[in-house]
Amino acid sequence: MQGRMLPHNGGPQPAQPHAQEDLQGLPRRAATSTAYVSVAGMTPESKTAVADMSDAASLRRQKLDALKARRVRPSPRAESEPQPDSSIASDLVTMVGYAEDVAEGNSVWLRSASPSPTKSPYYGGTTAAAGQAACSRAAGWSSSSMQAPEDLKLFWNALLATDFPVGSFLSLPSNVYLLGKKWWGSALLVRHCYRGTPGIGKSFFAVVLMAWLVREKNVSTIVYDTASIRYLFTFSNGTSVDVEMGRRKDFTEKLMNSATWWIIDMGTALERGANTVLLASPDKARYKEFLKLQGANPLYMPIWTNDEIEKCRSRLFPTLDAAMVEALKSKWGNIPRYVLERALNEWAQGSLDMAITVCRWKDIMRCIGEPDSAVHASHKLVHLDVVDDHYHKITMKMASPYVMRAMEEKGGKAHVQRLQDLVRMSMGDSAYASAAGSFFERYAHRRLQKGGSFKVRRLCSSRIKKPQATELKLQPSPEIHEFNNVTEVQHQGIGVYCIPRIHTFPAVDAIIQPDILLQMTATRKRRINLGGLIAAARQLIGPKQRLYFTVPNCIFAS
């Protein structure tokens, strides 16, 4: 391990603010030329298919009659339903929320219907929908729709009359529950994300998304799939709603209409004319076919912030001690399901250690490089996060220092070699950069605290001849001080190794009195937070403060 030296007064440049991308127009950009053709234009092959379905239905009826005669009851045909359990993001609205169930988190898949019909060999508009309805009847399927429970109607009436500004809570009246489900509660946090793009737990996101579509975009028809139930919401002037409930094959004709929005939670999406939002976890089997459809676009949810966790704790989980939640965050990361909702569930809390026991190092690497096909348990150890404000770009991060320490101990003497391999992998594939940086930082802290001689060189322009490397000698640190506020550092003795308690502290990763600032990185380029750097340097008592970039040997020269 070696270091690069940069004088504090050498003028590191402040990071340039990242230009925020306006994603509110994404549904228009992602518009697909979905196919339309009238029933009158059906090909002979299509007509034959309808006839064949009718013949098949006749054969099934004969078999059913035979079964009844023998007093044998046929087994119900079960649909195979994926069971996503994660968090998602969409770039449709400026608000998102959380009530009581958000998992490790993850994605939403969008597909927008074309506003103007074009030709297609598949289906189209209301005329083709009538054709499909006829096929369903010919096959022996009859609609099972019925009026939905009164609790669901009460929810919609209250929601349409309720304001929920970003950063606050959506609160429903007493005895009115989210989507009519008492166990979901009556309030959720409307999160800040970035303009046009929200992030929320999948089911709760659907609540806010549907309200936004009706109130802001004047959508009049929404089909909502959850578990094995399908709901049809028909709105009038954004103030009243008619709610029907059925099975997954009901209301098919509505899905052929490009003005309809189809929200799918825990299900499978097919190509239909409606604008479609599929909520899913990072399991490729649940969405790979959908992403093949024209106009499909994946978006991801960001990891929760400390402020969001605290807001939810104080409002929705007030009986949870703040210190306990902080301790759980140090193990799980900022995952509301485990640090809030299941904070007192012994089995859920034990599942993290079970995942550590089950997962091998190669499972971690696979989860980083191929998150869609990784072992399910590994998603407790590696979290998906978004890159800056681009919610279609992701990075994989280790869940917490607790998880990294456990994997290091599990690896034993082999861990250093694995770390070297990981750093080399990150140089060729940026997907591994975050994990490489996190593991290297922990290793660097341990080495620097032990003291020793470290090779250093002054950073300079590539056009200038590089100066000769020198040595920096560090004494073993007499103690380690973890600080919450950087001002604590000025009261520490010479040689005390000071590290921030939160790993997202800006500018520096460690400070040693009287004059050393340390920044660990496993990459060739590193953006500096100038304000944070100056604040840290002011705590040092020496006359000349220096910032050292601590890097792996393999990138020291470059």
Q: Give the pLDDT confidence of 116-152 residue by residue, as tens digits.
A: 333 322 222 222 233 333 333 333 445 566 667 788 8
Please check the confidence at residue 327 and state whether its pLDDT lies above 90. yes
Asked which of 129-138, 335-344, 394-403, 531-540 is least confident by mean pLDDT, the reply is 129-138
Name the pLDDT band for 2 (thresholds 50, 70, 90). low
| 8 A C-beta contact, residue 524 and residue 558 | yes
Asked which of 139-143, 209-213, 400-404, 465-469 is least confident by mean pLDDT, the reply is 139-143
SS3 of residue 234 by DSSP: strand
Percent above pLDDT 90 for the chain: 36
Could you identify the residue written with the tokens 């950069």?
433
Could you identify the residue written with the tokens 């979901």?
184
Where helices occur in 359-414 by DSSP H, the ranges are 361-369, 401-411
Please check the confidence at residue 105 and state whether its pLDDT lies above 70. no
State the average pLDDT over residues 509-534.
90
Please check the confidence at residue 29 and state whether its pLDDT lies above 80. no
pTM metric for this prediction: 0.64
Please check the confidence at residue 364 and state whether its pLDDT lies above 60. yes
What residues contact residue 428 under an 8 Å CB cut-off, 6+ apart?
A: none
| CA 290 to each of CA 129, 141, 271, 279, 366: distance values in angstroms, whole numbers, following the listed order | 20, 25, 8, 11, 23
Q: Please give the full DSSP string across 433-447, using - where no structure is assigned.
A: HHHHHHHHHHHHHHH
Say what the pLDDT of residue 509 is: 93
Name the pLDDT band for 179 (thresholds 50, 70, 90). confident
| 8 A C-beta contact, residue 86 and residue 104 | yes
pLDDT, greater one: 404 or 122: 404
Say what the pLDDT of residue 268 is: 83
Mean pLDDT, all residues of the chain: 74
| CA 516 to each of CA 7, 487, 524, 550, 552: distance values in angstroms, whole numbers, following the listed order | 10, 15, 21, 12, 19
In angstroms, the CA 555 to CA 541 distance is: 31
State the average pLDDT over residues 293-311.
86
State the average pLDDT over residues 364-388.
85
Say what the pLDDT of residue 107 is: 56
Most confident of 180-194, 197-211, 498-512: 498-512
Name the pLDDT band for 352 (thresholds 50, 70, 90). very high
Nearest to 443 by CA among 511, 498, 518, 520: 520
Say what the pLDDT of residue 1 is: 59
In angstroms, the CA 48 to CA 431 distance is: 50
State the average pLDDT over residues 533-546.
91
Element (H, E) at 114: none
pLDDT, greater one: 256 or 22: 256
Say what the pLDDT of residue 346 is: 96
Nearest to 276 by CA among 257, 249, 251: 257
pLDDT, greater one: 431 or 204: 431
Name the pLDDT band for 549 (thresholds 50, 70, 90). very high
224 forms beta bridges with: 231, 263
Name the pLDDT band for 113 (thresholds 50, 70, 90). low
Please check the confidence at residue 17 and state whether its pLDDT lies above 60. no
Say what the pLDDT of residue 345 is: 96
Percent above pLDDT 70 for the chain: 71
State the average pLDDT over residues 86-100.
30
Say what the pLDDT of residue 100 is: 32
Say what the pLDDT of residue 27 is: 35
Element (H, E) at 225: strand 221-226
φ and ψ at residue 253, rounded to 5 degrees: -65, -30
Q: Which amino acid is at 347?
A: W
189 forms beta bridges with: 169
Name the pLDDT band for 475 (thresholds 50, 70, 90). very high
Name the pLDDT band for 199 (thresholds 50, 70, 90). very low
Say what the pLDDT of residue 235 is: 92
Asked which of 10-24, 181-195, 293-307, 512-526 is least confident by mean pLDDT, the reply is 10-24
Element (H, E) at 210: helix 202-217
| CA 327 to each of CA 169, 405, 483: distance values in angstroms, whole numbers, following the listed order | 25, 15, 16
Say what the pLDDT of residue 112 is: 58
Most confident of 175-184, 269-278, 321-330, 450-459: 321-330
Side-chain half-sphere of 222: how many Cα atoms within 13 Å? 27
Say what the pLDDT of residue 371 is: 83
